[in-house]
Chain A
Amino acid sequence: MATTALSPRAGAYPRSRVYEWLTTTDHKKIGIMYITSAYIFFLIGGLMALAIRTELAAPGTQFLNPDIFNQAFTMHGTTMVFFFVMPMLAGFANYIVPLQIGAADMAFPRINALSFWIIPVSALLLFSSFGLGGAAAGGWTSYTPLSEAKYAGIGQDFWLAGLLLNGVSSILGAINILATIFKLRAPGLTMLRLPIFVWTVLVTSVLLIFAVPVLASGLVMLFIDRNYGGAFFDPAAGGDTVLWQHVFWFFGHPEVYILILPAFGIISEVLPVFSRKPLFGYKAFVLATVSIGVLGFGVWAHHMFTTGAVFLPFFSITTFLISVPTGVKMFNWIATMWRGKLRFTTAMLFAVGFLASFLIGGLDGAFSASTPIDFALQDTYWIVSHLHYVLFGGSAFGIMAATYYWFPKMTGRFLDERLGKVQFVIMFVGAHLTFFPMHLLGISGMPRRIQDYAPNVGWQDLNLLATIGSYLIGFGTLVLLWNMFVALRGPRTAGDDPWDANTLEWATTSPPPSYNFDRLPEIRSERPLFDLKHGGAGHAPALPSGEGSQR
C-alpha cells in the first residue's frame, strides 16, 4: 500500500478564514469567539460604568440626565452579567474543558456553534433598544411594577427578549458541557481525577440548567403582563408583584455562583501550577463546590429581607452557612501556596489578587446575612461594593488570571509579563479605590441607583475617589488590550508547556491541532502531566492515543 504524507496544514477544502470562523464547530475556535466577544462586551459595559462614575463624581447633573443614567446602570449590569462574565467563562470552559479531559471536541459540536451564535443575536436585540425609544431602565433586576407596561417603554420588551434568547444559549451550552464531561473523558480520568476547573464548570452547568429556565418563565410572564394583558405581577388585578422578585432571585442567586464558581476553578488551576504543589484538599474542594451549588438554591430571598414578605430565619441561616464552603476554599488556596515555590507571573498575581479581594467580598457579605444589619445596608452603596468585590475582585480577576494563563495555549504566544504586571497593579489599586469607598457611602446612607446627591451630605470625596479608581480600571484595560495587540503580532515562542503545568491541555501543541491530541499520557491522578514529568503516582510510559480520546 502506498504511504500518504499528511500535513495538517493542507486543508482538503480550500476556504477563506472568515468562512472558516463563521462555520466552525471546533470547540477551540468557538471558545476564542466566545472570549473575544465577551471582551468586547466588557468594553461596552465598562464604558457605561465610566459614564455612571463620571456623573457621580460630583453633585449635580454634569454628564447623564436621570433618563440616560437609569438606562446606563441597567445596561451596565445586564451587559456585564449576561454578555461579559457568563460568555467569558463559557468561552474558557469551551476551550479548556475538552482539552483538560482529553477529548477531541465537545459532545455536540454543532449545538456548540449554535449556542455561541445566539449570543451576538441576543445582544443585537438588547442593544438595538438604545436606538428604538430607549433601553430598559429598571435596573438589571427589572423589578415589577416599574418594568410593567404602565411604567417602562419598549426597551423593557427588548430586554426581556434579549435575555430569553441569551438564556437559550446558556442552557444549550450547559447541556453540551455536561454531556462532554460525562461521556468524553479520556481513559483513566475518573470523576475524582477531574481538574478542579472542570468540576466547577460541571457544577455551574447544573446550576444553569436549574436556574435559567426559572428566569425564562419569569421573563415570559412579564412579557405577557406587558403585551397581552396578563396580571401575574399586578396586585390591582390579583397578581403579586413580589412574585417577580422570587422568580428573579431564584435564578439570580444561583447566577451569582454561576459567575464565580468557574473563577474559583481558574484560581485552583493557577495557584497549584505557580506554587509547584497539588491543590490542597482536592476532595474537600470538590465537596465545597457541590455544597455551594446545592446551598446556592436556598438563599435567594436574602435579596428580599426588606420586603417584609419572606421568612427571615431560613434565608439568614442558609446565607450564613454558604460562607462555610467558600471559606474552606479560601483556606485550601492559602494552604496550596504554603511551603510552595511561588512564581509570580501575571496569572499568579491576579490569582493572589483574587484571594485578597474576594475575601473582602465574602466578609462584607456576612454583614448582609444578618437580617438587622441588612435592613440598614440593603439597597445602599454597601451592596454595590459587595457585589463588585465578588464580581470584579472575584470573577473579573479570575478572568484576567485565565487570560494570562491560557493565552499561550490558545495562540502559541506569551502576553508580555512586564505589561501584565503593570496592568495588575493598576487594576488592583483601581478596583479597591473604586469599590472600597462604596462601603462607607452605603453605611452612611447613600442609596444605590441615584443619579445625584446633595453637596452637603458628605458623600463628595468618596464618590470622587471611586470615580478616579474606575478610570484606573479603564486604563488597566487599555494596557491589557495593548498587550494582546502586541503579543498577537509577535512570534510563537510559548511552546507546549510554558508554565510547567499539571493538566492535559499542556500535553499538546500550542495552539492544539483541530483534533487536540496526538497521544495522551496515562492518567493516574488529577495531575497527569505532573506525573509524566516527575514520575509520580506510579507513572508508566505514555500511551498511544488511538481510540482513547475519541469515541
Chain B
Amino acid sequence: MIRVPHRARRSLKVFAVAALVALVAGACQTDSPGIFPPAAVTQQGTLTQDLYTFVFAIATAIFILVEGLIVWAVLRYRRRDDRLPVQTHGNLIAEAAWTVIPALIVIALFLLSMQAQGKIEAKSAAPDVVVDVVGFQWQWTIGYGCPDSYESATNVQPGQDCDFALTGAGKQGPDLHVPTGQTVRFRLHAADVIHAFYVPRFLYKKDVIPGRVNSFEVVVEQPGTYAGQCAELCGLGHGEMFLSLTAEDRGAYDAWYAAQVEGAKATPAPTQAGAYEVHISATTAAAFDQTEVSAPADTPLAIVFENRDLTVQHNVTVLKANPDGSDAIGLPFAQPGATVTYQVPPLKAGAYTYICTIHPNMTGTLAVQ
C-alpha cells in the first residue's frame, strides 16, 4: 500500500492545529460569533445559557476522550508486520460500562433540561405587559393593549381594537418596546404561513402558526436594543423579516407607550375633508382589479379598498409614500368581502407602486399628477 509521506503527514497536522487555533482565536474576539451563545438578556435565557455551558463542558470532555482514543488507535496500532493480532471478540464489562455510563449522563442531562424548561416555559397569572405579535409575509405587526380575546383568537389584526399597533418593513422592522425587570408575555399569531419569532439574545424562539396562538414570557434584565428576525422559512422575503426590540426601564417605557397612543389617535383622522378618494378593489389573489389609478399631487388621499375576494384578506400598501420614504402600509387588512379606507399622506407628482402586502405579486401603479 502507498503510505502518505511522513512530511506530508506532519504538515497536515501543523495545518490542522493552525486552523483550530485560528478558529478559536476568531471565536474569542468580542462580538463575533463564538462557540458560546451571545450573552442572554432575559432571566429565562440565562438559564438556557447555563445549561448550554454545562452540556458544552460534558460534550467537550467526551469529544476529547473519544477523539483521543481514535487518534491514539490510529497512531499506536499502525500495521508494522503481517502477524495476526489477538482476535478479541468483545468484553462484557467494557461494553456494559460504555452502555450504562452514557445512559446515566444523558438521563442527568434530561433531568436538568426539564428543570430549566419548567422555568423557561412557565406562565404567570397576570403578566405586567402583553404584546401581540402578528407575522405575515414578510413583516410583523405588533399590537399593544389588545383585548383579552386575543389570548385565543387565531385570526387577529391589531388595529382599532388595540391601544396602538406597530408596523415596519426594511432592515429594522417594527421597533417593539418592553420594560426591563417585568414579566412580558408575547402572544404569537400568524396571518398566512408559519413564521417564528426569534430574538437571538433571548436564546429563545417560538413558532408563529396559523390556527393557533402560541405564547411565551420573558423578563428582560439587560436594557438595550436587540435585533430579531423570522426563523421559519416563510417564502421569498423570509430573510428580510426583521424586528427590533428595545428594553428600557418602566418609566421610559410608559412615556413611549403614551406617545404611541397619542400618535395612534392622531393618525387615523376620519377621512380628512378634501381628501381625494381613490377606489381600488381585488377579486382574486392574482391581481388588483385596477392596475392603474391616478390622483392629484399634494393632496391627502383616501384609498377606498373593497376586498371582493371571498377567500383571503388583502390590503393596499403604497410603496415609499410616507414623508420619510417608508411604505404607507394599509392597515388593517380588509377581510373577505369588507371595504376599508386607508389614509395616504399628500404625495409629490410621480408614479408610485401599490401592492398587497400579503400578495406582493398584486401590484398597480398610482400616477400622481
**A binding-site residues for B, Cβ under 8 Å:** 66-67, 70, 137-139, 143, 145-146, 150-151, 235-236, 239-242, 275-278, 280-284, 306-309, 312-313, 316-317, 320-321, 323-324, 327-328, 330-332, 334-335, 337-345, 352, 355-356, 359-360, 363-364, 366-367, 369-373, 375-376, 378-380, 417-418, 421, 425, 429, 433, 436-437, 439-441, 443-454, 457-459, 461-462, 534, 536
Contacts and interface: CB of A to CB of B under 8 A. Distances in A.
Nearest to A70: B236
Given A284-B90, A458-B33, A146 B73 contact: no
Given A321-B103, A367-B59, A440-B35, A453 B73 contact: no
A236 B238 CA distance: 23
A276 B33 CA distance: 44
Contact of B193 (A145, A327, A338, A446): A145
A239 B63 CA distance: 45
Interface in B201-252: 201, 203-207, 209-212, 214-215, 227, 229-240
A359 B48 contact: no
Contact of A375 (B66, B205, B234): B205
A436 B74 contact: no
A313 B115 CA distance: 11
Contacts of A445: 38, 198, 200-201, 227
Contacts of B120: 372, 375
B51 interface: yes
B79 interface: yes
Interface of B: 1-4, 12, 15-16, 19, 23, 26-27, 31-38, 45, 47-48, 51-52, 55-56, 59, 62-63, 66-67, 69-70, 73-74, 77-91, 94-95, 98-99, 102-103, 106-107, 109-110, 112-114, 116-117, 120-121, 137, 154-155, 171, 192-194, 196, 198, 200-201, 203-207, 209-212, 214-215, 227, 229-240, 285, 312
A359 B67 contact: yes
Given A341-B85, A342-B73, A66 B237 contact: yes
26 contacts: A66-B238, A70-B238, A143-B233, A146-B234, A151-B137, A151-B235, A241-B209, A284-B90, A331-B95, A334-B70, A337-B77, A340-B77, A341-B78, A360-B63, A367-B56, A370-B55, A371-B117, A376-B200, A421-B2, A429-B19, A440-B27, A443-B34, A445-B200, A447-B196, A447-B239, A536-B87
Given A320-B109, A338-B77, A241 B239 contact: no
A449 B4 contact: no
B252 to A, nearest CB: 25
Given A146-B193, A355-B70, A379-B205, A371 B81 contact: no
A366 B48 contact: no
B106 A323 contact: yes
Given A278-B87, A379-B205, A380-B231, A241 B31 contact: no
Contacts, number: 303
Nearest to A439: B35
Contacts of B203: 372, 375-376
Contact of A308 (B82, B198, B206, B312): B206
Given A364-B59, A371-B113, A444-B37, A342 B87 contact: no
B205 to A, nearest CB: 6
B106 A343 contact: no
B229 A309 contact: no
Nearest to A453: B239
Count chain A CB atoms within 10 A of each CB in B80, B86, B230, B233 and give the residue with the most: B233
B73 A337 contact: yes
Nearest to A416: B2
B52 A367 contact: yes
A67 B102 CA distance: 45
Nearest to B80: A341
A530 B48 CA distance: 52
